[in-house]
Amino acid sequence: MKMAIVIDGKKLAKQINARTQQQVTELVEQKIQPGIAVILVGEDPASKMYTRSKQRKAETLGMKSILKEFPQDTSEQTVLNAIKELNEDASIHAILVQAPLPPQIDADMVTSAIVPSKDVDGFHPQNLGRLYANQHGNYPVACTPKGIMTMLAAYQVPLTGQHAVIVGRSILVGKPMAALLMNADATVSVAGHHTKDLAALTQQADILIVATGIGHLIKAEFVKPGAVVIDVGIEHDQDGKLIGDVDFDAVEKLARAITPVPGGVGPMTIATLMQQTVELAKWSQLNG
Ligand SMILES: NC(=O)C1=CN([C@@H]2O[C@H](COP(=O)(O)OP(=O)(O)OC[C@H]3O[C@@H](n4cnc5c(N)ncnc54)[C@H](OP(=O)(O)O)[C@@H]3O)[C@@H](O)[C@H]2O)C=CC1
Ligand SMILES: Nc1nc(=O)c2c([nH]1)NC[C@@H]1CN(c3ccc(C(=O)N[C@@H](CCC(=O)O)C(=O)O)cc3)C=[N+]21
């Protein structure tokens, strides 16, 4: 039986990290150490783990990294004050507020409070607007979709005129993913939980990108033979094993290429975050 190419996100991430480390060294020689700050509100164990792995990676690559942790019941004002301080801190080039935030905090207020030039997640309306308008020039773009574009390019997946179907429409993944693919001349469909016949839509996809958080939502009958399948979802099954939104074992048998979980999109997200932090540090020099 013909099996899909397994897209090796871990290996690609290593290559990107090596280049980032090189760029950090060059910047440090010019007395600029790229700095990233992560804000984490609450005690969610998974969020804590991801935040730590981001921090560890930043330090390994020679960057400055600070973590601001707040309890679950923290007020919006406290978080806004922390952002204000980081906005004014010249040693910090990238600010990331880990999602999700507790209900008493308005995520819109928080994303708009980060100065656009340090908005490494690309959540600020100014950066989202520039992406949507496909403006030229330097601005940050959400790391997960940006990392997926890097993966598609590395595996020479054609985009022009291809039908890309995205399942999930969050501001973290689905929406910026749709914008990037439209900007790359793909034909883009975006599904959410109201979508009438999800399988009928996903079956049309040349490129299928799934970001829902519903483990194994996508089965073999959802996928056109020969499609490229990108799995963003991260879920823990009953045994605590990490699984994606795609039933990998079934879909691998008919896809042309597929990303695994773990070892696919996840490591690329972190590598892209580090890469973009370096870019923000460089851009801050250009703009004074
Ligand atoms: N690997 C990585 O680097 C990253 C992984 N993730 C993971 O990706 C997943 C998605 O994250 P995120 O985008 O933040 O999640 P959200 O919960 O913000 O969004 C989930 C999206 O999935 C859609 N959805 C839910 N159920 C269905 C369904 N049955 N059929 C079709 N669409 C559905 C929702 O639709 P609707 O809007 O209509 O409700 C929504 O748009 C999570 O597992 C998260 O942990 C996230 C970021 C990075
Ligand atoms: N503001 C914000 N930006 C984010 O980018 C963001 C966020 N909030 N909130 C949560 C999600 C989730 N996310 C992941 C990043 C890396 C892995 C990752 O490296 N995963 C490894 C496995 C890790 C493990 O073993 O558990 C892999 O897939 O191989 C997973 C998930 C970023 N997110």
Q: Which homologous superfamily is 31-118 in?
A: Leucine Dehydrogenase, chain A, domain 1 (3.40.50.10860)
Q: Measured between alpha carbons, how far is 250 from 229 in angstroms, rounded to an integer? A: 12
Class level of CATH domain 142-265: alpha beta
DSSP structure class, residue 99? S
Instruction: Give the number of whichever ligand sits closest to the CA of residue 110.
Output: 2
Could you tell me if the CB of 214 is within 6 A of ligand 1? yes
For the record, the structure tokens of 275 come out as 């890469």
221 to 103, 235, 243: CA distances (angstroms): 37, 21, 19
Query: 31-118 with 142-265: one CATH topology?
Result: yes
Does residue 261 have its Cβ closer than 6 Å to ligand 2? yes
Taking the C-alpha atoms of residue 244 and residue 253, their distance in angstroms, rounded to an integer, is 16
pTM: 0.98
Q: Which of 55, 57, 119, 121 is catalytic?
A: 121
- Measured from the Cα of 10, ligand 2's closest atom is 29
Choosing from 23, 98, 162, 276, which is the catalytic residue?
Answer: 98
Q: Which atom of ligand 1 is nearest to the CA of 265?
A: 1
Does residue 209 line the site of ligand 1, with CB under 6 A?
no
Atom of ligand 2 nearest to the CA of 261: 28
21 carries an active-site annotation: no
The annotated binding site for NADP(+) is made up of: 168-170, 234
Q: Is 98 a catalytic residue?
A: yes
Supply the pLDDT for residue 14. Answer: 98
SS3 content of the chain, % helix, strand, coil (to 5): 45, 15, 40
Nearest by Cα to 68 from 117, 116, 110, 24: 110
Say if ligand 1 is within 6 A of residue 64 CB. no
Residue boundaries of the structural domains of the chain: 31-118, 142-265
Residue in this structure with the two tokens 């439209």, named with its chain if needed: 182
Report ipTM (2 d.p.). Answer: 0.98
Evaluate: CB of 267 within 6 angstroms of ligand 2: yes
Residues of the chain with pLDDT under 50: none
Q: What is the pLDDT of residue 212?
A: 98
**Could you report the per-residue pLDDT of 187-245, keeping only the tens digit for each?**
999 999 999 999 999 999 999 999 999 999 999 999 999 999 999 999 988 898 999 99
The pLDDT of residue 287 is 74
Give residue-wise pLDDT tens across range 141-167.
999 999 999 999 999 999 999 999 999
Amino acid, res. 71 = P
Residues 240, 115: Cα–Cα separation, whole Å:
38
Rounded to whole angstroms, the Cα distance separating 222 from 208 reads 10
Phi–psi pair at 90, nearest 5 degrees = -65, -15
